[in-house]
Structure formats: structure tokens, C-alpha cells
Structure 1
Amino acid sequence: MRRLAAAGLLCVAATTVTGQPASQGQQIATQGTSQGVAACISCHGAKGEGLGAFPRLAGTGQAYLLAQLDAFAGGSRKNPIMQPIAQTLTPAERQAVALYFSQLPAPFVASDSAQPLPSDTSAWLATRGRWAEQVPACAQCHGPGGSGVGTQFPPLAGLPAAYIAEQLQAWKSGSRPPGPLALMVGVAKKLSDAEISAVSAYYEKIAAPDRTAVPKAVPGMRGAAVTPGALNPAAPAQTKGPP
């Protein structure tokens, strides 16, 4: 019994020494890694709230964030900024940083238009859909106000319109993996470019924080301002980030 107890204490001690996933995730998010990965907050905001064209991470489900990091690491999701970052992180580090951001509070609370008119394309698609063509309302999966539902359907509220539109166009063209239940490819293919622009703008506006700032150095973070070239010198200049 004493040997078993001692073994148990050793396991606890080892966990304490190596650090809990949440604390490891916080270090990656706020300070980066010794392998050259820049702090996540330098692009995504000090509290993961999103910054400029870079989407929010705070309050997004761990499973969803981890799936995206794994997709970037494996190459099934393309992005010249995020791919080298995800590939440098170990699987344990990707899991830890996904956990950290999932536990941060959402930066705002949004609500949908109460009674949209059919002529309001953006609000109608977001809250009612177009069932004649089997296009469900965005809110049916992503929740009222685009707040996100469960682990597979991320929040949309407050994301940059350009980012949302870019993801919908990627699903429409087949350049982004289909996602949970392979729903998004079918939905995106049934939307026109104008409808994609409209619904993207809707979700940016219903809960839009100040996105006029540009990424800059954060106290306690290693290094200075982060640019796509600094993260990946081979990458072309780009302002659009992942979720």
C-alpha cells in the first residue's frame, strides 16, 4: 500500500512539475514558445477578443479550436500564417492553448434582429434561412446572436466580415475541410457572393468590438509587434488571420 501511495504521489508531483495544460496554454498564448512561436495575443488580442482582421478565440470551444490547429498542422486547412505556427506546436501544446482560450469569457453578448423582413437578406438568412433550397438559418447551429453552440459550432458574432466571407468562399470552392457533419460545404454552395457578403456583414455588426487597432506588442510578451512576415518570413504579406 505504501508503494502504491508513493507511486500516486510521484504521479501528482510529475503533473505539477510539468504544468497543467491550462497554465501551459496561457504561457503559449501570452508569451509564445522557445521554438519561435509568437504569442497568440499579439494577433488575436490580449484577451483573445480578436484584433483587426484576426478573429476572436475567447470562449470558442476547445474541440473546435483544436480541430482547426490540427487541420493547419496537417495541411488540410491552408493559411500562410497559421500553418507554420501549428506545425511548430506539439500536439500537447495545441491542446493546451485551445483549452486556455476556450476558458476565457466571450468578449461580448450579441442578439439577433427581433423580426427581420424577407427583404433584409442578411438578417433573414441568419435567423430564418431559406428552407426552399435547404439552407438552414445560421442561428440554428451557431445559436442566437451567433454566440456559438457546443463544441462544434463556433461563435460568429463580432468576427470580421472579411474573415467570415473568406471562410464561406473557401467552403464554396472546396479549399477548406467541410467541418462538423460536413454541413458548411452544402450551405456555402447555395449562397451567392452577394448573400455571403451580406450575412458576413450581419454577424460583424451585431456585436462589433473596436477593430480599428492594429496588432502591437503586449506587455509581458516576447518580442515586438508581430507581422505575417515575422511569423513566417516566407509568407506573403497578409492581414487576414485564421479561426
Structure 2
Amino acid sequence: MKQILAIKPSKKGATDSFIWLSTKSGVYSVKTGYHSAMALQENPLDPLNLHEPFNWMTEVWNGKFSPKMKVFLWKTLQEALPVGGNLLNRGLMDTACCIHCGDLETTEHLFLHCPYATAVWKLAPFSINPNPNLLQSFSAALTTSKTWICLPPIGAGSGSLFPWICWAIWKARNTLIFEERLFQPVETMHKAITDFFFFRFGQVRIVFFGQVLG
């Protein structure tokens, strides 16, 4: 009854219509329907579900990154970040679309599968070129990232740069939404590396894509 009473008729007399919140146009698509269904249940393709439980101590709490970063990873893994899909699942009737591409904004989409995120990951100074589109979950990406070795002059070792890149993607997303300022992928990667070095060493004088960090 409360939900019925909460419905407010249009002041201009517009007729009722069905709106699909996972697209900007409001029109349903099979692609966004699939992603919405997957967001409502545990992903059966997650390789961590097929083997052993996620180790929070090893992957998060004992990680070599700041307490703020650990909380950020915890929120991301718990689907507690206010991304579009999470808000939609909690009944908050707001846009669930990615600010960059218009697809349904899930955790995996924002950090791994969105064209913007893919462009950022291509700039990562790893010994291999990771393809985030092959990773089905954020937890799998976090675990797999330990095998990604940073190349000189970054020299960050294995895995520890991953959360800083995700944090930079998150900050770039919020800046675009709330300040309408777009960071290019190279600027986002620049921010990730700068934050990482300031945390690890307090200062940095590394040249990255022609820019001096620090």
C-alpha cells in the first residue's frame, strides 16, 4: 500500500509508461537485461567460487596498501559502492547507467569491462597487457593481479598497483558525474601511479608518458 501511495501522477497529465532504468533511453535491451540478471545473483563463472573461498586476510587486510584503500576494496567486494547496479538492487530509483558508455553500471563493468576502464588498463606499466574483459568478477581480478609485474621505472612489484588503478577509475567516474570534468585515461593512470608512489615513498620523480610524477 505504501508503494502505491508513493506513486505521484504527472502534473502535466503524461500517461504512464514502462521505463527500463538500465539504459539512458529507458528502452529495454537484451544486453542490459542479461547484466541486470547477473548482478542480482552470484556469478557462477567466478573462478573463486569453483575452488576455494575468497581469503580476505591475504587479498585485502594484509595487502601492502593504505587503510583507506583496504576499506575501498572491502566496499567494492561487498557490492557496497554506490554504482548504478547496486543502487538499482536496493530499490533506489535513479539512473543505473555508466557515465562513460551508457551500459548498466555494475562493479565489474565500471572497473573492468567499460571501454573507459579498458583504455586505462592498456596504459598500465605491467610486463603483460592484462585483458580485464576476460575477468568475470572483481574478486578474480584482485587475485589475478598479483601475477602482474610492474616494469621500470615504476618498479612497484607484483599486484600492489591494482587497487590504486581501481581507485583512480572510481575518482574519475565521480569527478565526471559531480563536477562534469572528464579525465582522459592517461590522466587516470597518471593519478594512480602518483598516489601509489606517494603512499610507498612519500615523493616521486618518475617520467610517465612525458610527464614528471610528483
* TM tier relative to shorter chain: under 0.3
TM-score, normalised by the number of residues in structure 1: 0.24
Higher relative contact order (CA 8 A, sep 6+): 1
TM-score, normalised by the number of residues in structure 2: 0.26
